């Protein structure tokens, strides 16, 4: 489902000096697989996930979704590819503060052109499944971090994307909430999605099809 | 639904307020320049509607007919020039002789008109009367007051005013025309002639000495001449100059350009005020919209992560910008109107009107701010989507 080859990313320090973060990453994730990438803080996990999810351009290398090379597409085509293929779960949730929980979930469908009564039913069912249905009309600042991440998870899976990318999804959560989110991600993999989870805590690796370490810009 | 509207208003309150301030500034400055434009155009319209004739030389007349006496024989000679349709003898006297001629256009004048002749001015066949009636042939010691003249003195129909020691009854008040007649008080010509004699010691001396055989009908400061259908007014004015000695016939197009050049200062002031209004208002609108977009950099990054294309984001931003600039624009227009009306309410006590909120100004200001808001929205969106979504989320955090 997801393939990356030779991904290179180098940032520039404020003094102009290079910060090589990724030095040539190869990765393949098949449908139904849960791949966990562990690495110390600052090792480049977020950078890698951003490249895989087309949120940022690599300096070199390629990204394929289901056989199509997507990182070379135009800006809007990349946006559409994200909407069609990828669901994101971020460490800091990234809900829109001006929208209610339900509206945040439905946002994923808006850009894919799928907004409608069935989508709304599905959003409500997902919120119910994650135990936050009664929070549907609350705004993100009014609910706890654990609840926000549950809402964000619903948003990520609303369109049933074949690829889920989770960047330290439990980094800001207590253990109970962390277990719910990790278990939900595993469930998506069992249901056929390709799932990539990056983190620095080994618990994330539980039930993974493959576990990699990101170190010195390379996967091991 | 109302809840969403309340929420939208709440979250956009500052943006709408910012736009309202910009539009209010634009409309207020625009209304001041519209006021001046109307004044200049009104004068131009007037001078192009008649040939103004005065006696040659200096006299104490004022306004367009400043010059020497225009005796009855001369009036008759003008009437006989081919192409002339009508000649209306007039007496124009400055109400306050100490007023400098510099501001002759805004000067308060007594205008005496010969009511036995219909008004020859093609563009002002009748002056619009707001209350009461205009003068009629046979009227004596009655006056029709221009709007500003009446307002500054609190005159209404039935009021009395004293001119050169004689009491006049106000029988009519004109509508506000935003040009010269606003400051006129119009009386039958016989009354104006008496005022002139009372006012001018030199004229009294001449009359008393019998040195010149002057009769009342000779006491005219000028005349308004109308032309026959199809006649070229400039050519007719030249013909009058050639055939009637001792007159100064203004050529309408020359007087119009003279008027335009003497009001050139005001015209550039108008352009300057208008441009200032558009610059201040426009910058304020554009800046407010662009700032509102940049402020939500993170939201845009998130939406793009969720699959929003440039076009989808552009449409969203445009729709919001449209709603926000329109509501801000309407509030701004309302603020400017309230401000203008209350300032004019105060200025109106001395007969002044500073603002003219013409429909073209209000519509123009709204269209301008909406277009500018849209342009700013498009510009800001293009700037935002050039960042990668990851970068937008990082910077907006
Ligand atoms: N936009 C950026 N500009 C410069 N350096 C960056 C930028 N983003 C990340 N980095 C650097 O790249 C390295 C990897 O960052 P990141 O991918 O966020 O690591 P992780 O997610 O593993 O903690 C860090 O040293 C970080 O400082
Ligand atoms: Mg990170």
Q: B324-355 pLDDT, tens per residue?
A: 899 999 999 999 999 999 998 888 777 778 89
With CA atoms as reference, report the closest residue to B261 among B109, B97, B55, B47: B47
Confidence of residue B274 (pLDDT cuts 50, 70, 90): confident
Confidence of residue A129 (pLDDT cuts 50, 70, 90): very high
User: Which residues are CB-neighbours of A18 under 8 A, at least 6 positions away?
Assistant: A10, A11, A12
Residue B102: burial class (beta carbons within 10 Å; 0-12, 13-18, 19+): exposed
Contact A94 B308 (CB under 8 A): no
Pairing of strands A86-89, A68-69: unpaired
C-alpha B344, offset from chain centre: 14
pLDDT for res B63: 42
Contact A55 B306 (CB under 8 A): no
ipTM here: 0.95
Q: What is the arithmetic mean of pLDDT over B349-370?
A: 87
Whether residue B29 contacts residue B282, with contact meaning beta carbons closer than 8 Å, is answered with no
Distance in Å, CA A15 to ligand 1 centroid: 16
* DSSP for B161-184, written as a single string: EEETTEEEEEEEEEPP-SSGGGGE
Q: Residue B62, Cβ neighbours under 10 Å: how many?
A: 24
- Quote the crossing angle between the two packed helices B264-295 and B2-47, to the nearest 10°: 170
Whether residue A48 contacts residue A35, with contact meaning beta carbons closer than 8 Å, is answered with no
Residues A111, A113, A115: CA angle, nearest 5 degrees: 100
Residue B5 confidence (pLDDT) above 70:
no
Residue numbers in B near A75 (CB within 8 A) = 309-310, 385
Contact B303 A75 (CB under 8 A): no
Residue numbers in A near B15 (CB within 8 A) = none
Q: Residue B202, Cβ neighbours under 10 Å: how many?
A: 9
Please name the residue that has the structure tokens 């808006």: A110
Between B231 and B102, where is the model more confident? B231
pLDDT for res A220: 87
What 3-state class would DSSP assign to A65? Answer: strand
Which of the residue ranges B129-133, B139-143, B151-155 would you say has the lowest mean pLDDT?
B151-155
Q: What is the arithmetic mean of pLDDT over B227-250?
A: 92
Q: Which residues surround ligand 2, an ion (CB under 5 A)?
A: A 46
Residue A169 confidence (pLDDT) above 80:
yes
Residue numbers in B near A107 (CB within 8 A) = 303, 306
Q: What is the arithmetic mean of pLDDT over B362-375?
A: 90
Q: What is the arithmetic mean of pLDDT over A202-211?
A: 86
C-alpha A32, offset from chain centre: 15
Whether residue B75 contacts residue B223, with contact meaning beta carbons closer than 8 Å, is answered with yes
Pairing of strands A163-167, A194-199: parallel
Whether residue B93 contacts residue B203, with contact meaning beta carbons closer than 8 Å, is answered with no
Contact B306 A92 (CB under 8 A): no
Q: Does B317 touch chain A (CB under 8 A)?
A: no
Give the residues across from A20 on adjacent strands.
Answer: A10
pLDDT for res A198: 95
With CA atoms as reference, report the closest residue to B371 among B285, B275, B277, B272: B285
Residue B115 confidence (pLDDT) above 60:
yes
pLDDT in tens, B22-56: 889 889 988 988 888 888 888 888 889 999 998 87
d(CA A123, CA A47): 30
**Beta strand ranges found along A13-151 (DSSP E):** 18-29, 34-38, 60-65, 68-69, 86-89
DSSP state of B387: S
The percentage of chain B sitting over the pLDDT mark of 70, rounded to a whole number, equals 91
pLDDT in tens, B11-22: 678 888 888 888
Q: Which two tokens stand for residue B19?
A: 């736009």
Q: Which residue of A has its CA nearest to B386?
A: A75
With CA atoms as reference, report the closest residue to B184 among B130, B132, B140, B147: B147
pLDDT in tens, B84-105: 999 999 998 888 755 444 444 5
Question: Percentages helix, strand, coil for chain B, rounded to the nearest 5?
Answer: 60, 15, 25
Residue numbers in B near A76 (CB within 8 A) = 309-311
Q: Which residue of A has its CA nearest to B385?
A: A75
pLDDT for res B280: 82
Q: Which two tokens stand for residue B290?
A: 């662009």
DSSP state of B113: E
The mean pLDDT value of chain B amounts to 86
Distance in Å from the first CA to the final CA of chain B: 30
Question: Domain boundaries in chain A?
Answer: 2-219
pLDDT for res B215: 81
To test the pocket of ligand 1, the residue of B387, B391, B394, B397 to mutate (highest count of ligand atoms within 8 Å of its CB) is: B394
Selected for mutation to probe chain B from A55, A57, A119, A166 (highest B CB count within 10 Å) is A55
* DSSP for A180-210, written as a single string: HHHHHHHHHHHTT-EEEEEESSGGGGTT-SE
pLDDT for res B240: 94
Between A115 and B287, where is the model more confident? B287
Given the candidates 3.30.950.10, 3.40.50.920, 3.20.20.140, 3.40.50.300, the CATH classification of the domain at A2-219 is 3.40.50.300
User: Which residues are CB-neighbours of A93 under 8 A, at least 6 positions away?
Assistant: A140, A145, A148, A149, A151, A152, A172
Confidence of residue B8 (pLDDT cuts 50, 70, 90): low
Chain A residues with a Cβ under 8 Å from any Cβ in chain B: 50, 53, 55-57, 75-76, 79-80, 82-84, 88, 92, 94, 96, 98, 107-108, 110-112, 155
d(CA B305, CA A166): 13
Q: Which two tokens stand for residue A32?
A: 């139904």
pLDDT in tens, A33-91: 999 999 999 999 999 999 999 999 999 999 999 989 999 999 999 999 999 999 999 99
Q: Which two tokens stand for residue B26?
A: 């634009």
pLDDT for res B6: 67
pLDDT for res B207: 78
Phi-psi region of B130 (alpha: psi -120 to 50; beta: other; left: phi over 0): alpha
């Amino acid at each position: 489902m997801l393939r990356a080859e030779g991904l290179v990313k180098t940032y520039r320090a404020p003094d102009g000096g290079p910060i090589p973060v990724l030095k040539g990453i190869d990765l393949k994730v098949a449908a139904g697989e849960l791949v966990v990438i562990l690495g110390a803080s600052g090792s480049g996990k977020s950078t890698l996930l951003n490249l895989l999810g087309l949120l940022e351009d690599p300096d070199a290398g390629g990204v394929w979704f289901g056989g199509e090379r997507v990182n070379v597409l135009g800006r809007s085509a990349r946006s559409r590819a994200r909407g069609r293929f990828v669901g994101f779960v971020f460490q800091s949730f990234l809900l829109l503060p001006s929208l209610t929980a339900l509206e945040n979930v439905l946002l994923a469908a808006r850009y894919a052109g799928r907004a409608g009564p069935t989508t709304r039913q599905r959003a409500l069912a997902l919120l119910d499944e994650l135990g936050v249905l009664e929070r549907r009309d609350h705004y993100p600042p009014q609910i706890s971090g654990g609840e926000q991440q549950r809402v964000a998870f619903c948003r990520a899976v609303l369109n049933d994307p074949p690829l889920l990318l989770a960047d330290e999804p439990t980094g800001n959560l207590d253990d109970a909430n962390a277990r719910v989110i990790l278990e939900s991600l595993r469930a998506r993999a069992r249901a056929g999605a390709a799932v990539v989870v990056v983190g620095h805590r080994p618990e994330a690796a539980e039930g993974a099809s493959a576990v990699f370490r990101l170190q010195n810009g390379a996967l091991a | 639904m109302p809840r969403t509207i309340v929420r939208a208003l709440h979250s956009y309150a500052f943006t709408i307020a910012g736009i309202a301030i910009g539009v209010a500034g634009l409309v207020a400055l625009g209304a001041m320049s519209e006021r001046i434009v109307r004044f200049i155009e009104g004068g131009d319209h007037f001078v192009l509607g008649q040939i103004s004739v005065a006696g040659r030389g200096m006299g104490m007349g004022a306004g367009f007919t400043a010059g020497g006496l225009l005796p009855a024989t001369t009036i008759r000679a003008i009437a006989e020039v081919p192409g002339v349709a009508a000649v209306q003898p007039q007496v124009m006297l400055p109400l306050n002789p100490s007023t400098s001629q510099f501001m002759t256009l805004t000067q308060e004048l007594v205008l005496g008109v010969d009511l036995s002749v219909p008004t020859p001015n093609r563009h002002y066949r009748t002056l619009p009367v707001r209350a009461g009636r205009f003068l009629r042939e046979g009227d004596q010691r009655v006056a029709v007051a221009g709007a500003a003249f009446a307002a500054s003195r609190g005159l209404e129909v039935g009021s009395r005013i004293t001119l050169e020691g004689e009491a006049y009854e106000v029988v009519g008040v004109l509508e506000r025309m935003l040009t010269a007649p606003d400051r006129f008080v119009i009386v039958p010509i016989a009354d104006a002639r008496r005022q002139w004699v009372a006012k001018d010691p030199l004229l009294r001396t001449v009359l008393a000495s019998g040195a010149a055989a002057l009769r009342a009908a000779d006491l005219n400061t000028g005349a308004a001449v109308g032309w026959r259908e199809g006649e070229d007014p400039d050519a007719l004015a030249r013909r009058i100059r050639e055939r009637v000695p001792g007159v100064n016939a203004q050529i309408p197009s020359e007087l119009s350009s003279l008027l335009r050049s003497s009001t050139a200062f005001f015209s550039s002031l108008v352009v300057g005020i208008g441009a200032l209004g558009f610059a201040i208002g426009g910058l304020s609108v554009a800046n407010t919209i662009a700032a509102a977009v940049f402020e939500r950099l993170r939201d845009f990054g998130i939406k793009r992560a969720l699959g929003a294309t440039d076009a989808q984001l552009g449409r969203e931003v445009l729709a919001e910008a449209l709603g926000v600039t329109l509501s801000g624009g309407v509030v701004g227009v309302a603020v400017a109107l309230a401000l203008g009306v209350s300032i004019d309410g105060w200025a109106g006590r001395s007969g002044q009107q500073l603002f003219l909120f013409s429909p073209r100004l209000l519509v123009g200001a709204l269209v301008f701010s909406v277009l500018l808001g849209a342009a700013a929205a498009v510009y800001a969106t293009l700037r935002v989507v050039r960042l990668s979504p990851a970068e937008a989320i990082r910077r907006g955090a």
